[in-house]
Every structure is written in C-alpha cells, then in structure tokens.
Amino acid sequence: MRTSLSCTAAVVSGVLFAALVFAPPAARADAAATIQSAQHQISAGNYTGAISTLQAAVPGNSSNAELFYWLGRAYYEMRDWDDSVAQAEKSVSFDPKNSLYHQWLGRAYGGKADRDRSFSLAKKVKSEFKQAVTLSPSNIEARRDLEEYCLDAPWIAGGSKDEALEQVNAIAAIDPVTGHLARALYDRQGLKNPESAENEIREVLAAKPKSPDPYFEVADFFRVVNKPSDIGTAVDAAAHFSPSDPRLAYYRGIAAVLANANLPNAERDLKSYLASTPDRSDWPEHAAAREWLGRLYEEQGKRADAAEQYREALQLEPKRKEARTRLEKLEKSQ
C-alpha cells in the first residue's frame, strides 16, 4: 500500500504536476517525438542509443513520467538493474496511478533482487505487482507477473499458491486462452501436476488463438517436457499468423535438436535467430539460443564448438545452470 504524502511532499508534488501540465505545447510535443524515437531504438535493440536519446530530453521534461518509464525499460533490457529501478521509481513518483509503471518497477526490482539475493527487494516486487493489478484489474500481464512471483518466491518473501490461484481465476475470467496458459503454469509449478498442465496447454491449441504469442508459450511448454513434435505443431500454428516472425526459427531449431534430426537446418535456424534479433526480455534469450547451439554441436561430436557456445551463453547469462554443467563436463573430458 502507498503511504499518504506529507504536507511538504504534497506541495512539491503539486508543483511538479503543474510544471508538467502547463509546460509549453512545443516542449510536450518534443518529448512525445523523443519517446517515439527511443521506442524505435529499443525495438531495434539499440538500448544505449535509446538511453542517450531520452537523457537528452530530461532537462526540458524533468517531470515527464513516460520519459522515465522508457528510460527504465531501456536499462532493464541491458540488465542494468540499479538504473532501471532508479528510472522506474521516478516514473511511478510522477504518475502513481499508472498500472504499467508499477508493473515495470516490480520487474526492475525483481532483476535487482535476484542479483542481490535480497528478500526486502523481493517483497517490493510483489507489492508493485499487486499495486499494478489494483490500479488496473484488466492488466493481464501484471496478473501473470504476480502469479509467477507467488509461485516462485518462498513464503518468507510472500510466496503463496493460494494467491497465485486467485490470479489464475481472475485471468481466466478476463481471457480464457490466457487463463489456460496461467493455469498450466499453476498446475505444473504449484500443484506439480504435469498431466493437468499439459491438458491446459492443449486447450490453448484447441482454442486456436488468432495471434502467434500463445503458440510460442505452448512451444515453450513442450520444450520443457521434451516433446519436439508438439513444438512443431505450435510453431506451424504461429507461422500461420506471423510467417516472418524471427522466433519461428528459434523454436524450429530447438525442436530439431531435441529430436536429433535435421541438425544442419537447426544450426541455420538458431544462427538466423541470433543474427536477426536483438536480445530482448520478451523473446527467447540469446543465451538460450547459444546453449541450444552447444547441444547441437555436442550431438554432432563438435566438442570444441559446443564448449565455445556454452561459454558465450554464460557470458551473456552467468546463471544458466545447464550451460555451465555441460561446459564443465566437456572440460573434464578433455
């Protein structure tokens, strides 16, 4: 819960709000253009460029919540958790009733809490997700973030299967397809019932959603349970709606590696994904693609190439346990 402002803080807040509302129209227009330009840079993976673009606009727009929100997003993509938190906190301070800003502040706290192994920060993650849901009950992504937090966190940091289930039921009432995805996560992680989880995933396929993203989530589920043919089914369905989506190559590649079939095509697909996409938080990580290339090379007996890919994966994401285990095994055998 947010505490009430003191008298002094209220005065300061009012002054800042007035500065924003009564800023010259040209200044507001310039800020909008700057933000739009930065959004394009972020979409292209030019995160440092976006930060420079946005920072240049700060002096004339020092209370623009959206500008600080996008600064926080750019730092988040760079995994610079300290700066992401700092900018996201500013966005929330200038627009405390914006659900999206609270959600992304929660995500930034999450990155920092994971790095610092901090229970106090972890509790802030949950608080921000709950605030995002309270401010906008229809914010499904915030509800899913809250569900995942409640399933992953220990009870001492606010983990709760009951609260996770509350979010699952609320999501299902808003959007049945996303509800099946949320319930699959709950059944697999909360109930440890993989059969029930798979039934929910197959309900997603049966519903035939009209956008590619649910199919990619389905593909991720079948990746975890090692069912490459079902990954292929999901990828084919996604391709029907978005035939040029770069993620298709990634999932086709991992399906082939899991099946140990068409490995030359899998290598081409995984390399294509790496070459054609920025490393972004809402798509498969480049570290994951490197790890799958390593597994592919292991299947082909190319041990040195496999080790190189595992090292690349760990350089991008040092906490990848599978890549580290496989690399250590290769190094010991040499």
Taking only the tens place, the pLDDT of each residue in 169-224 is 999 999 999 999 999 999 999 999 999 999 999 999 999 999 999 999 999 999 99
Same domain, 120 and 141: yes
Q: Is it the case that residue 13 has pLDDT exceeding 50?
A: no
Same domain, 114 and 75: no
Average pLDDT over the chain, rounded to an integer? 92
Is 111 inside a domain boundary? yes
Both tokens of 82, joined, read 């300290």
Same domain, 82 and 129: no
| Percentage of the chain lying above the pLDDT 90 cut | 90
Range of the domain at 127: 97-207
> Could you give the CA distance from residue 87 to residue 68 in angstroms, rounded to a whole number?
5
Same domain, 65 and 161: no
> Could you give the CA distance from residue 78 to residue 52 in angstroms, rounded to a whole number?
13
Same domain, 127 and 58: no
Residue that finishes a domain, picked among 181, 207, 233: 207
Is 26 inside a domain boundary? yes
Is 68 inside a domain boundary? yes
263: phi then psi, degrees, rounded to nearest 5: -65, -35
Q: Is it the case that residue 27 has pLDDT exceeding 80?
A: no
Which pLDDT score, from 0 to 100, does residue 29 have? Answer: 56
Helical residues (DSSP H) of the chain, grouped into ranges: 7-21, 25-43, 47-57, 65-77, 81-94, 99-116, 119-135, 140-152, 161-174, 176-185, 194-207, 213-224, 228-241, 247-259, 263-276, 286-299, 303-316, 321-333
> Is residue 96 left, alpha or beta, with left meaning phi > 0 and alpha meaning psi from -120 to 50?
alpha
Residue that finishes a domain, picked among 207, 223, 254: 207
| Percentage of the chain lying above the pLDDT 70 cut | 91
Do the beta carbons of residue 220 and residue 258 sit within 8 Å?
A: no
Whichever domain contains 133, its CATH number is 1.25.40.10
Is 121 inside a domain boundary? yes
Is 252 inside a domain boundary? no
Which pLDDT score, from 0 to 100, does residue 160 have? Answer: 97
State the number of CA atoms in the 13 A half-sphere of 145 facing the CB. Answer: 27
Q: What is the DSSP letter of 159?
A: -
* Residue 273: C-alpha distances to residues 6, 241, 295 (Å): 52, 18, 16
Residue that finishes a domain, picked among 174, 207, 240: 207
Residue 26's pLDDT band, with cuts at 50, 70 and 90, is very low
pLDDT digits (tens, 9 = 90+) for 72-82: 999 999 999 99
Q: Is it the case that residue 296 has pLDDT exceeding 50?
A: yes
Same domain, 66 and 144: no
pTM value is: 0.88
Encoded amino acid at 48, one letter? T
Is 47 inside a domain boundary? yes
Which pLDDT score, from 0 to 100, does residue 30 have? Answer: 83
Same domain, 195 and 102: yes
Same domain, 91 and 104: no
Is 248 inside a domain boundary? no
Same domain, 26 and 102: no
The DSSP result for 301-318, as a single string, is T-HHHHHHHHHHHHHH-T
